[in-house]
Structure 1
Amino acid sequence: MFNWEGVSEFVAVAETESFTKAAGRLGISTAQVSRQVSTLETRLAAKLFHRTTRKVSVTEVGRIYYQHCRQVLDGLDEAERAITNLQTTPRGLLKITAPVTYGESMIAPLINDFITQYPELEVQINLSNLKVDLIDEGYDLAIRLGQLEDSSMMAKRLGSRTQHVCASPSYVSTYGLPHTLSELEQHNCLIGTLDYWRFQEKGKARNVRVKGNLSCNSGHALVDAAIKGLGIIQLPDYYVNSFIESGELMSLLENNRQADEGIWALYPHNRHLSPKVRMLLDFLGEKLA
């Protein structure tokens, strides 16, 4: 049977003349596009692209292969539209896993909205910070945060999260503002699951080891401690945004804020993406963008 792996990525690169733009079109990482195209070239024993640091262009062999692939993909798109039109109402079982806190605060409410629109669905949500095996345990979708580990899963970026360093106005009035990363060692930093915080300095990522008199694996508990003036925290936006807006917390060291991290949906590469999963991905992507 024909191996489709890498074909969609190849066509996207050929049409955009850019691995980065192709990744944006497909909603996956640039590294994943590059990996899939390289695997395809190895399988075909043919060079499909000329690559330089500034430009990507299709080889003569690549142009021939593209013409055939485009016709096939157009036919598949038409066939999928025909089937999707027969299944415009999502129904049946969806099995999803997500991290506990983000799942509680963001994913589960959105899935509840999705079920409200499509009540014929049966949804099982497992909120866990453990990395479950999607294939062995039969999951359709996993939500992952931050930098993805290299895996055989397909990944679609749904949105991003921002890490904030925060303290209460009462803490700042008593102990002052940290103006540089080095000044953090003079402050009481309330620690979560890691004993270092992530920043950006002069365009480069930098980890800063911190210490304080409270450590806890609950972000909500750390927010409460910070609001009560016990120290400084670093947590994602979904923990602290409402408190920053209300003035109960102040955002600090904004010039050193690390680049936003991805919020990803992962699904098995070898599993057919059913209309209900595709519609959920589109729904989550629209709401979390």
Structure 2
Amino acid sequence: MMQWEGISEFVYVAENESFTLASKKMAISTAQVSRQISALEKRLNIKLFYRTTRKVSLTEEGRIFYQHCRSVLDGLDAAERAITNLQSKPQGKIKLTAPVTYGEKQILPLVNNFLKQYSDVEVSAYLSNQRVDLVEDGYDLAIRLGNLSDSSMMAKKLGERSNFVCASPLYLHKHGIPHSISELNKHSCLLGTNNYWHFRESDKEKSVRITGRLRYNSGYSLTDAALKGLGIVQLPDYYVKQHLQSGELVTLLDNYRAPDEGIWAIYPQNRHLSPKIRLLVDYLVAHLS
């Protein structure tokens, strides 16, 4: 750190040919400027200025030293401008991960819109329903759904998703409408990877084990089965919303609907949230909340 002490004072004095003017421009006392210059000359073991009562001028050694110091300060100014530009105009790579279907349907289309606005940003996305290790695998950001269990990560809530129990009018016409959770065991239920459906009953969250003759690990395929009258399904809103609006599917057991689940952006605690990441997260919040 001592190598930097007195450098700015030296350059200001050299350029203004005055200790007093240098002190005013630096907003410090003349005595402080003088002390820093004296200490610098002592450390370098050279005389940097000729001093008279009327004028301050550089020695030959001082002129050589000034040229190098001016280049160093110019470089520091350029570095500061580069960081400022980086903050005002995001650039660089973002590596993110998200669940497969939600990533395909909700996240990546928004990322594409984000990239249209910020042409200097690059994105590498890996979609997986498996939890990846953000730190070990070098991810800047992950999108997670539901309850968060990893307390070692920082989290920002992007929005919420709703889960709907629904069926087609065709199925309900043939098999009737269930009015309670207990009636589900009398119906054909369409299963995903989870054996349990989630509800709220008497202000308490409740998980109910479901059985059925059809099991897919694809939300789109389960939606198609429900549309074709094969049974009742519980799926997130982004699978069934348009079909509920068109009347192709009908919601059931609305009084037992589970609380909405959080949609989260998470990132490592020890990783600085760079401007490009912060801007992308804010963009997702604005369009998902």
TM-score (norm 1): 0.70
Query: Residue in 2 aligned with 1:180?
Result: 180
Query: Residue in 2 aligned with 1:62?
Result: none
Tell me which moved more, 218-227 or 204-213. 204-213
Instruction: Provide the rounded CA distance (Å) in 2 between the counterparts of 1:92 and 1:188.
Output: 50
Query: Residue in 2 aligned with 1:255?
Result: 255
Instruction: Provide the rounded CA distance (Å) in 2 between the counterparts of 1:136 and 1:212.
Output: 39
Partner letter of residue 203 of structure 1? Answer: D
Instruction: Provide the rounded CA distance (Å) in 2 between the counterparts of 1:283 and 1:204.
Output: 34
Query: Residue in 1 aligned with 2:150?
Result: 150
Partner letter of residue 270 of structure 1? Answer: N
Query: Residue in 2 aligned with 1:238?
Result: 238
TM-score (norm 2): 0.70
The CA deviation at 1:137 is: 1.1
SS of 2:280's equivalent in the other structure is: helix
The CA deviation at 1:210 is: 1.3
Instruction: Provide the rounded CA distance (Å) in 2 between the counterparts of 1:222 and 1:130.
Output: 20
The CA deviation at 1:269 is: 0.3
Query: Residue in 1 aligned with 2:160?
Result: 160
Query: Residue in 1 aligned with 2:207?
Result: 207
SS of 1:183's equivalent in the other structure is: helix
Query: Residue in 2 aligned with 1:111?
Result: 111
Q: Is the contact between residue 169 and residue 248 of structure 1 (CA under 8 Å) also seen in structure 2?
A: yes
SS of 1:149's equivalent in the other structure is: coil
Instruction: Provide the rounded CA distance (Å) in 2 between the counterparts of 1:85 and 1:161.
Output: 36
Q: Tell me whether 1:170 sits opposite 2:160 in the alignment.
A: no
The CA deviation at 1:87 is: 2.4
Q: Is the contact between residue 199 and residue 257 of structure 1 (CA under 8 Å) also seen in structure 2?
A: yes
TM-superposition CA deviations, 1:152-204 (whole Å, max 9, x none): 00011000000000100000111011000000011000000011100000100
Structure 2 counterparts to residues 115-130 of structure 1, below 5 A: 115-130=115-130
Seen in structure 2, the aligned counterparts of structure 1 residues 84 and 229 have a Cα distance that, compared at 3 Å, is farther
Query: Residue in 1 aligned with 2:140?
Result: 140
TM-superposition CA deviations, 1:261-281 (whole Å, max 9, x none): 000000010001100000001
Seen in structure 2, the aligned counterparts of structure 1 residues 84 and 235 have a Cα distance that, compared at 3 Å, is farther
Partner letter of residue 272 of structure 1? Answer: H
Instruction: Provide the rounded CA distance (Å) in 2 between the counterparts of 1:208 and 1:283.
Output: 36
Percentage identity across paired residues of the two chains: 60
Q: Is the contact between residue 84 and residue 275 of structure 1 (CA under 8 Å) also seen in structure 2?
A: no
Partner letter of residue 150 of structure 1? Answer: D
Query: Residue in 2 aligned with 1:193?
Result: 193
Seen in structure 2, the aligned counterparts of structure 1 residues 235 and 84 have a Cα distance that, compared at 3 Å, is farther
SS of 1:107's equivalent in the other structure is: helix
In the alignment, structure 1 segments of 5+ residues that lack a partner are 1-81
Aligned length: 209
Instruction: Provide the rounded CA distance (Å) in 1 between the counterparts of 2:142 and 2:126.
Output: 9
In the alignment, structure 2 segments of 5+ residues that lack a partner are 1-81
Query: Structure 1 runs of 4+ off > 2 angstroms?
Result: 82-87
Instruction: Provide the rounded CA distance (Å) in 1 between the counterparts of 2:157 and 2:270.
Output: 19
Q: Tell me whether 1:281 sits opposite 2:247 in the alignment.
A: no
Instruction: Provide the rounded CA distance (Å) in 2 between the counterparts of 1:108 and 1:139.
Output: 16
SS of 1:205's equivalent in the other structure is: strand
Structure 2 counterparts to residues 16-31 of structure 1, below 5 A: none
Instruction: Provide the rounded CA distance (Å) in 2 between the counterparts of 1:231 and 1:94.
Output: 42
Q: Is the contact between residue 86 and residue 275 of structure 2 (CA under 8 Å) also seen in structure 1?
A: no
Seen in structure 2, the aligned counterparts of structure 1 residues 278 and 229 have a Cα distance that, compared at 3 Å, is same
Instruction: Provide the rounded CA distance (Å) in 1 between the counterparts of 2:85 and 2:145.
Output: 33
Instruction: Provide the rounded CA distance (Å) in 2 between the counterparts of 1:191 and 1:203.
Output: 25
Instruction: Provide the rounded CA distance (Å) in 1 between the counterparts of 2:123 and 2:86.
Output: 21
SS of 1:135's equivalent in the other structure is: helix
